[in-house]
Amino acid sequence: MSKTDAEARAGEHVSPAQEVAEAMMGFVTEFKGFQAEYQTKLQQTEERLTMLDRKTMTAARTPLAGAVDMDAPHQKAFNAYLRSGEDDGLRGLELEGKSLSAAVNSDGGYLVDPVTSDSVKSVLNATASIRSIASVVNVEATSYDVLVDHSDVGSGWATETSNLTETDTPAIDRITIPLHELSALPKASQRLLDDSAFDIEGWLAGRIADKFSRAEAAAFINGDGIDKPKGFLTHADVAETNWSWGALGYVPSGIDGVVTADAIIEVVYSLGAEYRANATFVMNSKTAGMIRKMKDNDGRFLWTDGLAAGQPSTLLGYPVLIAEDMPDAAAGANAIAFGDFAAGYTVAERPDLRVLRDPFSAKPHVLFYATKRVGGDVSDFAAIKLLKFASS
């Protein structure tokens, strides 16, 4: 109630209930006015925030003003290092405690960022290499030792009162797999690196993956062990009838340069039963084309294509890995290998991948020197058998 109304009604008698009702009506009227004013200010604030968000999140219209960079800090720092050699971002990154170990090579190089490293590994696993069927271990040392017990414990029958005699003790061999440095040196022009539309991480991952996969695949089969992994075909081979530990046993095909269905069956059963369950045939495309035409005595093809997508073809029920670095079918060649490679061959590698940027050696191009340490060797000579295309 206003002061004027109060003065006009000063001489009138007003009941307490009426005074309370009039006071409440005045309060409600003032509260609604306050509420309307507050909602108006809140709406203005929301509109202002919406405009700020649009200016911040929307890509700039002119090429001179870049879009908002939503990448993780390590990705931005690594991208800046590859494009311009600026390493301040890398130096300012906070490393996790688990990264401060002997496994990290920090002597002048920079670890490739996790996204790129994962891309490289996925390509490597997809290639037709012994890596896909071998045992792969990550180590934090310069070599990896495999302890193999390839002998048996002596035993004998005894009666209740007979004297016990000493039996043979098992012999344990140590196989040392040294790690060697695998390197790649892709290059790109500085103008290409300056192009903001260029996916430098994808390009670098693809180039390194292609180089590493081809080099590894060749070394795991034919490497001489000198500054590279030792391939399983470079070990001595002996006829299966004279096989002993330290060499790979082979089954002759019976005819120089020619293979028969009987020879393939024989090499399958030359492998121990404990290995056959996980065994795989390894050969190149030319040999596979020859084997694919072979039939048994009942006219059935030995080769069977995979029924489902992604499933490997099988030979006598065992999967086939097409490795192009295997030798061609020729007289005296060990063109087919059969065995449990998860038990028979071990790939040891260090998980860190280094990338060094060199803008000086090949101007106007920029070189990227990527290195990784990997080794490989036969870890169980009884787990792999060879089919030699020879008469004996």
Contact 373, 182 (CB under 8 A): yes
pTM for the full predicted model:
0.68
- What is residue 72's predicted lDDT score, i.e. its pLDDT? 63
Cis peptide before 364 (omega within 30 of 0): yes
> Does 153 score more than 60 pLDDT?
no
Domains present along the chain, CATH in parentheses: 235-345+379-388 (3.30.2320)
> Does 156 score more than 70 pLDDT?
no
> Does 250 score more than 70 pLDDT?
yes
**pLDDT tier for residue 5 given thresholds of 50, 70 and 90:** low
CA atoms of 390 and 22, how far apart (whole Å) = 116
325-342, pLDDT tens digit by residue?
A: 999 988 889 999 999 999
289-302, pLDDT tens digit by residue?
A: 999 888 877 778 88
> Does 320 score more than 90 pLDDT?
yes
80-90, pLDDT tens digit by residue?
A: 777 777 766 66
- What's the mean pLDDT when you consider all of the chain? 79
- Mean pLDDT of all residues in 348-357: 84
- What is residue 270's predicted lDDT score, i.e. its pLDDT? 95
